[in-house]
């Protein structure tokens, strides 16, 4: 009799609560889930608790998982979310960060590489799109053949090969930013050899009893399950609704209201831009705070908050923070007059000049190091005005955060930039960038050529938009 596939087993369990069907699924995937929990916690007992929670969630969601769901990828993602919730709870209780650690077997050929990447692997996997993540889970976590991986992804083998290689390149680039110089092939070998370890004996029986039979579970396990299911529902809702609704729900976005162009206000777009250039050039110092809300296609990106401090001739400090709910990324670029530097959560380095410092931090800061710093220091590559002097168009005035603003827009190929410039001081209050999918791919390809450690994208998820709002602007004050 042929072995039932995942969805046939799920259907049987959903229809009759078949313990046999559920036990088959547990046997098939318990090692995958347990290993993800163990990497996060470095504690076998905690990993067992996470594994139980994941399979209880599977039991509760069994009837809603369609045939298009790759169960291995779904379980891995659920394990990652559950483990992240678990670790947040542990950190609050213990008041300290708990690093993920996986002990490797010393006689494995890729042991050294695995020891380096294990603490960062699950964070790196969390940064992949669902299909890329599923490809890595199927091919290297579960060690399926290329044919089996293609069948699981419902892609051709050629497309699966491209997808897997691209995902490996993304992982390689992620590790490279953390100072780990490893080839994609070495990463693949280390993950394949060491990412999944055998779960403790007896754990399968415990899971089957608690998840399939509904045996009573502890209060801590109940809390963990509820937290993870709430997170999964929120993530599903976030990706389902449009980026505009996400911005409204997230809060902190600028409230925009139309205001009438004042009588006698006949300034052209070109005149407004020149006045703004002159205003920035006349400043001795500038500070502000702000927020950047971005999206690609229907997927919202965790918002960035930032603080900018700049003074003549070459002093600056720009800090940023991105909080996804599961991890926090921070960074800064600065110069105290003795060089230009960049520091992130995991690395620090000296840059050749401020132009390179601003440019290299543009992506990880969400763009905070580009527009206003470019205008203040009149840097060609970051100046938001660019060639707008000739091609910008003036739109009806609007209010941003209570300030009357001129609104200027200009198109350049696949990109549209819109600026909101204060009518009283001619300083930038908001910048919006809209880029088509084709344009975004071209930008990423250009960045990959300039920075070889970055992967060249085969495709992007859709059109992108970022809205950068500046508040608490102060000028010509001593920096603190």
- Give pLDDT tens digits for 138-188: 999 999 988 899 999 999 888 898 899 999 999 999 998 888 888 888 898
Q: What is the pLDDT of residue 416?
A: 82
Q: What is the pLDDT of residue 449?
A: 66
Phi then psi dihedrals of residue 448, to 5 deg = -65, -35
Length of the chain: 480
Phi then psi dihedrals of residue 119, to 5 deg = -65, -20
Handedness of CA 43, 54, 111, 186 (dihedral sign): negative
Nearest-angstrom CA–CA distance, 79 and 76: 5
Q: What is the pLDDT of residue 255?
A: 31
Q: What is the pLDDT of residue 95?
A: 41
Nearest-angstrom CA–CA distance, 90 and 84: 10
Nearest-angstrom CA–CA distance, 6 and 97: 37
- CATH architecture of the domain 256-475 equals Clam (2.50)
| Band of pLDDT at residue 445, cut at 50, 70 and 90 | low
Give CA separation, 440 vs 18, 309, 447, 468, in Å: 49, 29, 11, 18
Neighbours of 189 (CB within 10 A): 18
Residue ranges covered by each domain of the chain = 6-240, 256-475
Q: Between 452 and 329, where is the model more confident?
A: 329
Q: What is the pLDDT of residue 259?
A: 35
| Band of pLDDT at residue 106, cut at 50, 70 and 90 | very low
Q: What is the pLDDT of residue 238?
A: 52
Q: What is the pLDDT of residue 451?
A: 58
DSSP letter, residue 462: S
Q: Does 98 score more than 50 pLDDT?
A: no
Nearest-angstrom CA–CA distance, 152 and 135: 9
Q: What is the percentage of the chain residues whose pLDDT exceeds 90?
A: 28
| Band of pLDDT at residue 208, cut at 50, 70 and 90 | confident
Nearest-angstrom CA–CA distance, 26 and 33: 9
Mean pLDDT, rounded, of the chain = 79
pLDDT digits (tens, 9 = 90+) for 372-431: 999 999 887 667 776 544 578 888 899 998 889 999 988 776 678 889 999 999 999 999
């Amino acid at each position: 009799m042929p072995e039932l596939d995942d969805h046939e087993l799920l259907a049987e369990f959903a229809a009759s609560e078949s313990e046999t069907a559920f036990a088959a699924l547990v046997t098939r995937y318990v090692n995958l889930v347990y290993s993800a929990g163990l990497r996060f916690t470095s504690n076998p007992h905690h990993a067992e608790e996470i594994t139980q929670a994941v399979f209880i969630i599977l039991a509760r969601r069994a009837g809603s998982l369609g045939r298009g769901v790759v169960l291995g990828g779904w379980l891995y993602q659920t394990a990652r979310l559950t483990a992240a919730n678990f670790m947040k709870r542990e950190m609050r209780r213990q008041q300290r960060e708990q690093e993920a650690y996986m002990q490797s077997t010393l006689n494995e050929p890729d042991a050294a590489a695995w020891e380096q990447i294990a603490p960062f692997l699950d964070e790196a996997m969390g940064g992949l799109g669902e299909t890329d993540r599923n490809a890595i889970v199927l091919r290297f976590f579960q060690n399926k053949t290329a044919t089996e991986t293609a069948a699981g992804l419902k892609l051709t083998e050629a497309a699966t090969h491209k997808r897997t290689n691209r995902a490996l390149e993304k992982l390689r680039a992620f590790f490279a930013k953390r100072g780990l110089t490893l080839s994609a092939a070495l990463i693949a070998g280390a993950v394949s050899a060491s990412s999944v370890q055998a779960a403790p004996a007896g754990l399968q029986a415990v899971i089957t009893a608690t998840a399939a039979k509904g045996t009573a579970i502890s209060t801590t396990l109940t809390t963990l399950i509820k937290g993870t299911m709430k997170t999964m529902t929120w993530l599903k809702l976030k990706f389902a609704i449009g980026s505009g609704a996400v911005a409204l729900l997230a809060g902190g976005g600028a409230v925009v209201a139309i205001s009438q162009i004042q009588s006698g206000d006949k300034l052209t777009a070109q005149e407004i831009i020149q006045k703004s250039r002159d205003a920035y050039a006349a400043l001795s110092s500038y500070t502000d705070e702000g927020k950047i809300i971005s999206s690609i296609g229907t997927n919202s990106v965790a918002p960035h908050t930032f603080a900018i401090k700049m003074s003549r001739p070459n002093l600056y400090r720009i800090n940023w923070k991105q909080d996804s709910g599961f991890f926090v990324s921070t960074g800064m670029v600065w110069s105290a007059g003795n060089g230009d530097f960049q520091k992130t959560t995991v690395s620090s380095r000296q840059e050749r000049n401020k132009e390179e410092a601003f440019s290299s931090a543009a992506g990880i800061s969400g763009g905070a190091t580009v527009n206003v710093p470019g205008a203040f220091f009149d840097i060609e590559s970051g100046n938001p005005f660019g060639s707008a002097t000739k091609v910008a168009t003036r739109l009806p005035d609007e209010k941003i955060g209570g300030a009357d603003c001129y609104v200027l827009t200009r198109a350049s190929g696949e990109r549209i930039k819109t600026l909101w410039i204060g009518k009283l001081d001619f300083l930038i209050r908001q910048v919006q960038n809209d880029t088509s999918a084709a344009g975004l791919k071209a930008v990423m390809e250009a960045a990959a050529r300039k920075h070889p450690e970055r992967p060249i994208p085969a495709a992007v998820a859709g059109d992108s938009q970022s809205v950068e709002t500046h508040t608490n602007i102060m000028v010509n004050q001593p920096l603190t």
